[in-house]
Amino acid sequence: MELGVSGTLLLAVLLSLVLYFFTWRRNLKKKNLPPGPPPLPLLGSLLDINTKEVHMSLMKLGETYGPVFTVYLSSTPAVVLIGYDCVKEALIDNGDVFSMRGHLEFTYLITKGYGVLITNGERWKQMRRFSLSTLRNFGMGKRSIEERIQEEARYITEEIEKIGGAPFDPTHLLTLFVSNIICFIVFGERFDYEDEKFMTILNLLKEMFLLMSSSLGMLINVFPKIISLLPGPHQKIFTNLKKLKYFVAESLENHKATLDPNCPRDLIDCFLVKMEEEKSNPITEFHFDNLFGTVLDLFFAGTETLSRTLQYGLIYLLKYPDVESKIHEEMDRVIGQNQCPSVEDRVQMPYTDAVIHEIQRFADIAPLGLPHKTGQDTTFRGYNIPKDTTVVTILASVLKDPKYFKNPKQFDPTNFLNDNGSFRKNESFTPFSLGKRSCVGESLARMELFLFFTTILQKFNLKSALAPEDIEITPEPNTNGVMPRTYEMYVTPR
Ligand code: HEM
Ligand SMILES: *[C@@H]1O[C@H](CO)[C@@H](O)[C@H](O)[C@H]1NC(C)=O
Ligand SMILES: *[C@@H]1O[C@H](CO)[C@@H](O)[C@H](O)[C@H]1NC(C)=O
């Protein structure tokens, strides 16, 4: 058979591809990166990873390649860390090297390199310090935010009372609860649950969040340039963003008009004070873009995470009624029926505290954590990892590490209880990750979880139309482990 010119060309192209492929792989070996599945040109490890169950695929690869291994996003390596010992060795023992934020293309599209979540260097340092201190003033430790959460939890119980004994899906109420707390911190006001502006903001955010955790979102992280140019549902991100920006800008103007620098009311006021302080600094980080970026970060990082944890918490309690009745019993003993639950009660409620820890451990709502990257060339467990390599800490493998929890795949509050019933910490409890880059909202989140569950359980017995053994508590399949299944519940007054 005659090959012809095009045939010869094709053959040449194929041959050089094959050659290129083998040299590439040999070069990879020389670099002494951690081991991993052999990558394909262009596709990298894409065929080894199910984009709808990424953490499961990675944990499976860990069984073959060990707790430190390399996968390829197209031709770019990413190092994956599995289990508490390994993740802690990176984020704590080598925190200086491993605390840079890795590239999050999708989030980059949204916050454009501003804010706290995806930034590095001086900008990150300033915005992180600002967020932490603002959350502390309005939230952490101080009474006011606690009162605000208590009040919001009471509004939620009122809403549930309005529903009467009819079955309902709690998702929407939980979103209202957690979003209103962030609104209070950022804008200094809570919204009525029917407020039109509030509904608009929530919908805009929700659409963006859904896109982010879809496989389209995962693909955008791998092939950002191509996919962001294509038409498709993800183009909505940009139109939604514009609307949100308008909303924040408008609120900023209102704040400016009524600011009392000695008595900041919320995050925007605090930001305005900083802007004023640094107005003669030409390279100040306190400008509108960083304000907008930080506000978006708090909404992104602080609403879905919490509302999903609450969603899971409620379904676990429906599944395990004996756990609920033990909380009831402890609560009646410590708080009683009339007093409003407060964070101070927590130390006297080890069982409830243990259940909330177990809810977070088991719900595992950020199974991949957020990507980090190395700030310099480094060796880790005998392997070389070059500067700027993406590092993925599989928090799922830490929260369910069999070395630290006796039945990691079972919901079991005794993971956090001593034999005598006192609360027991466990270092492998890391839903907020570890080290310099760990969750900024941890204290706020823990306060909300405690006050939400105690306020609801003080008033109600939780019921499900399904028998406990028929309730499915695992996440919705093919959602990267982040979406709880939808369910209905109803309540009876206590
Ligand atoms: C149950 C609730 C929450 C969970 C499980 C959670 C979990 C996490 C995780 C795993 C990270 C990544 C840490 C890392 O890179 O190693 C993170 C970062 C972050 N979280 Fe949370 N979070 C929660 C609630 C919140 C809340 C309520 C807020 C804000 C009000 C918040 C704000 C942030 C911010 C700003 C970051 C980025 C920190 C940085 O890059 O320096 N989170 N969170
Ligand atoms: C309960 O047991 C733990 C260790 O198992 C111990 O540290 C603690 O003091 C004990 N608490 C009480 C009240 O006995
Ligand atoms: C966590 O649990 C493991 C296994 O039960 C135990 O060895 C470890 O000491 C616990 N950590 C803490 C801080 O109690």
Predicted local distance difference test score (pLDDT) of residue 189? 87
Query: From the alpha carbon of 393, which atom of ligand 1 is closest?
Result: 16
Residue 41 lies in a domain: no
| CB of 217 shorter than 6 A to ligand 1 | no
| CB of 404 shorter than 6 A to ligand 3 | yes
Instruction: Say if residues 37 and 65 touch (Cβ distance below 8 Å).
Output: yes
Residue 349 lies in a domain: yes
Predicted local distance difference test score (pLDDT) of residue 29? 66
CA distance 489 to 17: 58
Residue 301 CA to ligand 1 centre (angstroms): 5
Predicted local distance difference test score (pLDDT) of residue 152? 96
Burial class (CB in 10 A: 0-12, 13-18, 19+), 395: buried
Integer-rounded Cα Rg, in Å, for the chain is 24
Residue 156 lies in a domain: yes
Residue 465 lies in a domain: yes
pLDDT surpasses 70 at 27: no
Burial class (CB in 10 A: 0-12, 13-18, 19+), 184: buried
Total domains in the chain come to 1
481 pLDDT band (50/70/90 cuts)?
confident
Residue 116 lies in a domain: yes
pLDDT surpasses 70 at 494: yes
Count of C-beta atoms within a 10 Å radius of residue 70: 22
Average pLDDT, the chain: 90
Residue 441 CA to ligand 1 centre (angstroms): 6
Domain that holds residue 127: 98-360+407-418+439-493
Structure tokens at 480: 């990267």
Check which CATH number belongs to the domain holding 287 and give it: 1.10.630.10
- CA dist 400 → 392, 409, 431 (Å): 16, 7, 11
347 pLDDT band (50/70/90 cuts)?
very high
Residue 71 lies in a domain: no
Residue 317 lies in a domain: yes
140 pLDDT band (50/70/90 cuts)?
very low
Q: What is the pLDDT of residues 279-311, one digit of tens each?
A: 999 999 999 999 999 999 998 899 989 999 999
Task: Give the residue whose CA is nearest to atom 24 of ligand 1.
Answer: 302
Predicted local distance difference test score (pLDDT) of residue 106? 67
Residues with CB under 6 A from ligand 2: 418, 420, 422
Residue 473 CA to ligand 3 centre (angstroms): 26
Q: Strands 372-373 and 390-394, how do they pair?
A: antiparallel
Instruction: Say if residues 82 and 397 touch (Cβ distance below 8 Å).
Output: yes
| Single-letter code of the amino acid located at 178 | V
Residue 192 lies in a domain: yes
